[in-house]
Amino acid sequence: MTPTQPLVELRGFTAVDPRTNRVLLEDINLTVHPGEQLLLLGASGAGKSTLLDAIRGVVPHSVPLNISGDCFVAGQPVITKTVAELSRTVGNVPQDPHASITLPLVEDEIALTLENHGIDPAEIGSRVHKLLASVDADHLLHHRTQSLSGGWVQRIATVAALAAEPSVVLADEPTSMLDGAGVAAVMQVLTELTGDDGALILVEHRLDELADGPGLPERTVVIDGGAIQADGPTDHVLAKHAHQLEANGVWTPGVRLPVYEAPIIDDAAAPLLRAANLTVRPAPKADPVVTNINLDIRAGERIAVMGANGTGKTTLLMALAGLLACHGDITGRPPVMVFQNPEHQFLAHSVHDELRFGLNPTERTEAAIQRLSTAFGIDHLADLNPFRLSGGEKRRLSVAAGLLAAQHRAEPTVLLADEPTFGLDRAATTTMLNELATHANSGGAVVIITHDHRLAQAWATRTITVAQKALI
């Protein structure tokens, strides 16, 4: 590669799913030079992740799409390189960080990348320590990856992807599960790594937090329906295309969620779910993450659970769902749980069957499925395997299935949802919050985990913070 040669270049690149003839990318022309940082904006399902997959060779080498046009990385045609060969140049921070974790220990996960790229064994230990420290995770060196919260997994997956100092970094929503400190740390690592010689292509929905903190990349590309709609300086693109971006449901700085009316909660009524003197451990011999918790969840409530990464939010919800052994008492109606990782929830081989799993096949049930799948924008995906959907589509499917299960219980119940809006654009987030609120207003209740303070302020009837093994 010459000094003036682009690190990434696509010319008339088109990708079509041969099974459905769905055009996923259409006539993409994109050039990224050394030193550039680029923000890739678009609604859920617009083609952002597919574009990143094309740059790192997953399309077409692992995902067999029909392609035409050209895609070059560091001057070399992607079609002539394997994904493994491209990984020396392209680092990928995935939308689903759990999917990239392969080894049981944190230190081994990061060291594996260095070993695969032929780093001197004498240097590996110090580099692992330095990488973990860069995202405030050096205390996790000897921890098991399986025991980490989603936010810590995201930090580990990020530094593991960047360990070999690739020239091109593709970051697909790298802050979706992070608290405020994690957002700042990860964005600093991404920015420092690329510097003047590398390139960063960033997909991100949390633009307000980036704008208020680390700052937005100087260049923005907007993709819609698999085609590039705008490409230029970020301030110019956001100003010129603001109305269209908002119409498409894309998050833009300053755009707010609607404020949801607070219902009247009958504090004298029996709670739908009660935890009394609850102490929870993520594993039998582990230290407790919450102790002596007392929590009543009543009909109509919309509760947001917040807290720093690793404080025990997911562990608490898993215990309330009866999925973790705990000390203390949990009484009330059995709740429904939507997992943080949608793939851990899928049980069927098609979207159609996933939505109907465990439900009685009645006209009322079918009407509810049709209404919710249309509202969530997944009705056209009925015949697809849930594991082949985009990250946003998987998230919407998992929450839709959870809502349907909760709504069709004999009695109204509590829906527990672990970060139900991560990876979603503004339109999908608003629709989801509307549906969750409808469930609460219909005699049920909803408890969600979120790191989005604006969301909690607009939607929740109360917010609980997990800190120092207690609820605040």
Per-residue pLDDT of 268-294, as tens digits, reads 999 999 999 999 987 788 889 899 999
Q: What is the pLDDT of residue 11?
A: 98
What is the per-residue pLDDT for 3? Answer: 54
Token digits of residue 63? 């995902």
What distance in Å separates the CA atoms of residue 114 and residue 279, rounded to the nearest whole number? 40
Q: Which residue has 């003197």 as its token pair?
A: 277
Which residue would you say has higher pLDDT here, 258 or 402?
Answer: 402
The conformational region for residue 258 under phi > 0 = left, psi -120 to 50 = alpha, else beta, is beta
pLDDT at residue 1 is higher than 70: no
Instruction: Report the distance separating Cα 352 and Cα 374, nearest Å.
Output: 12
Amino acid at 32: V
Does this model's pTM top 0.95? My answer is no
End-to-end alpha carbon distance in the chain: 55
pLDDT tens across 139-196, in order?
Answer: 999 999 988 888 898 899 888 888 888 999 999 888 888 888 888 888 888 888 777 8
Greater pLDDT, 267 or 179: 267
Mean pLDDT of 232-244: 93
Q: What percent of the chain has pLDDT over 70?
A: 99
- Sequence length of the chain is 472
C-alpha dist (Å) from residue 56 to 49, 94, 427: 11, 11, 29
Q: What is the mean pLDDT of residues 30-38?
A: 96
Cβ atoms 190, 169 nearer than 8 A: yes
Ordered domains of the chain (ranges, CATH): 8-247 (3.40.50.300), 273-471 (3.40.50.300)
With H, G, I as helix, E, B as strand and everything else as coil, classify residue 292.
strand
Give the CA count within 13 Å in the CB-facing half-sphere of 248. 19
Beta bridge partners of 221: 40, 231
Residue 122, CB-side half-sphere exposure with 13 Å CA sphere: 0
Does residue 209 carry a pLDDT above 80?
A: no
**Which has the higher per-residue pLDDT, 265 or 175?**
265
- Overall average pLDDT of the 125-141 stretch: 92
pLDDT of 392:
84
The neighbouring-strand residues paired with 201 are 38, 170
d(CA 299, CA 272): 6
CB 279 within 8 A of CB 291: yes
Angle at 419 between CA 253 and CA 112, to 5 degrees: 95
Residue 441 dihedral angles phi and psi, to the nearest 5°: -70, -15
